[in-house]
Structures are given as C-alpha cells and as structure tokens.
C-alpha cells in the first residue's frame, strides 16, 4: 500500500460520503466547520522496508472543511535533520463507540538533511490512522503513511512512517 493507495482511498471514500451526506444538504463541497486538533507524533521511519530512523511530526487539523474534506497541514523532522512540510486534506470516518479511521493526502516540500534522498523537493504524503476519540475530544491513534514524489522526478524512492499520534482538541 505504499504507492498512493491511501490518497486514492481518501478521495474515493470522501467522494462517496460527499454524495450521500453533503450534496443533498448544504452542497457537495460547501464550507463547514469541524472539530480541530493539534497532533503530536513520535514515529519510526522505514526506507526500503528497513528501519531507518526516528521522526517527530506535528500536524494541525483545522476547523475548516469543504464537504467531508478537512484542511490539514503538518511539519516533520527526522533525527537526520530531514524536514517535510505539507498542506492537504483528511477524511475522518467514525467506526464505532469513539473509534475512527482517518485517511489523509498532502502534497509538500522535502528538505533533505543527512537522511534519505527522496528524489526531489516535492514529496507527497498519504496515510491512514486508526484511533479512539474520548468524549473530551482527545484522540490517540496509530498511523502509517508513505512519502514519495509520485514519479515526477527520475528517482522515486519512498519513505514509510509508523507513528503513535496524540491529538488535542483546539476548538
């Protein structure tokens, strides 16, 4: 699933939700307000399926959404001083009794420090998180994502991340 599958799932599930729940009511991509969160993640990165290093990731899931697509932005730094920053969208689906699944897709920029050469400045990050949201809005989740340049450069090496995320409500 390290080839953009999560980005496609984000779009497909979000579009289905949009047609079922948003188009008949307020409009397919109408602006709406959702719960916002500030997230902190500790992560292990993997390169070519081997453990590579550690990453700290901070992400803001804003209160702005268009239909089911929530605007998000994030910043990550690895222990090799690689930096990635991106802006995109998340789609969150409630599962049962506080459990949720969230998919995200974010284009961004990657500044290589002493770490992995991902092929170029533009790198896309997409992934999935499964977690639990308490009544007070605090979330704890386990996430997996993939970063690569989607073949826009000659070299398209990918970097996977497995993370534990804690999300604090900000609204």
Closest CA to 124 of 155, 154, 87, 92: 87
Q: Write out the residue range of the structural domain in which residue 41 sits.
A: 5-169
What's residue 4's pLDDT?
Answer: 66
pLDDT digits (tens, 9 = 90+) for 4-39: 677 677 777 777 777 777 777 777 788 889 999 999
| CATH code assigned at 9 | 2.40.160.20
pLDDT at 2 over 70: no
Which tokens is 64 given?
């702005």
Q: What is the mean pLDDT of the chain?
A: 90
Q: Distance between CA 141 and CA 149 in Å, rounded?
A: 26
What's residue 25's pLDDT?
Answer: 72
pLDDT at 3 over 70: no
pLDDT digits (tens, 9 = 90+) for 42-84: 999 999 888 899 999 999 999 999 989 999 999 999 999 999 9
What's residue 1's pLDDT?
Answer: 45
Q: Which residues contact 6 (CB under 8 A, 6 or more apart)?
A: 103, 104, 105, 126, 127, 128, 145, 146
What's residue 165's pLDDT?
Answer: 97
Return the percentage of the chain with pLDDT > 90, whole number: 71
Q: Which residues contact 62 (CB under 8 A, 6 or more apart)?
A: 36, 70, 71, 72, 73
**CB contact at 8 A, 91 and 62:** no
Q: Are strands 37-47 and 31-33 parallel, antiparallel or unpaired?
A: unpaired
Which tokens is 149 given?
């340049």
**CB contact at 8 A, 83 and 115:** no
Q: Count the domains in the chain.
A: 1
């Amino acid at each position: 699933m390290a080839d953009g599958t999560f980005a496609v799932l984000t779009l497909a599930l979000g579009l289905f939700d949009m047609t079922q729940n948003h188009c008949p009511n307020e409009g397919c991509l109408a602006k709406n307000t959702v719960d916002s969160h500030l997230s902190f993640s500790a992560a292990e990165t993997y390169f070519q399926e081997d453990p590579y290093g550690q990453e700290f990731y901070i992400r803001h899931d804003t209160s702005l959404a268009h239909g089911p697509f929530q605007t998000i932005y994030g910043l990550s730094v690895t222990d090799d001083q690689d930096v990635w920053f991106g802006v995109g969208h998340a789609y969150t689906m409630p599962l049962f009794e506080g459990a949720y699944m969230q998919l995200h897709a974010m284009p961004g920029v990657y500044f290589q420090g002493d770490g992995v050469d991902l092929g170029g400045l533009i790198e896309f990050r997409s992934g999935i998180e499964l977690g639990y949201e308490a009544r007070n809005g605090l979330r704890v989740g386990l996430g997996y994502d993939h970063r690569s340049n989607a073949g826009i450069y000659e070299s398209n090496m990918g970097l996977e991340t497995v993370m534990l995320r804690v999300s604090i409500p900000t609204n």
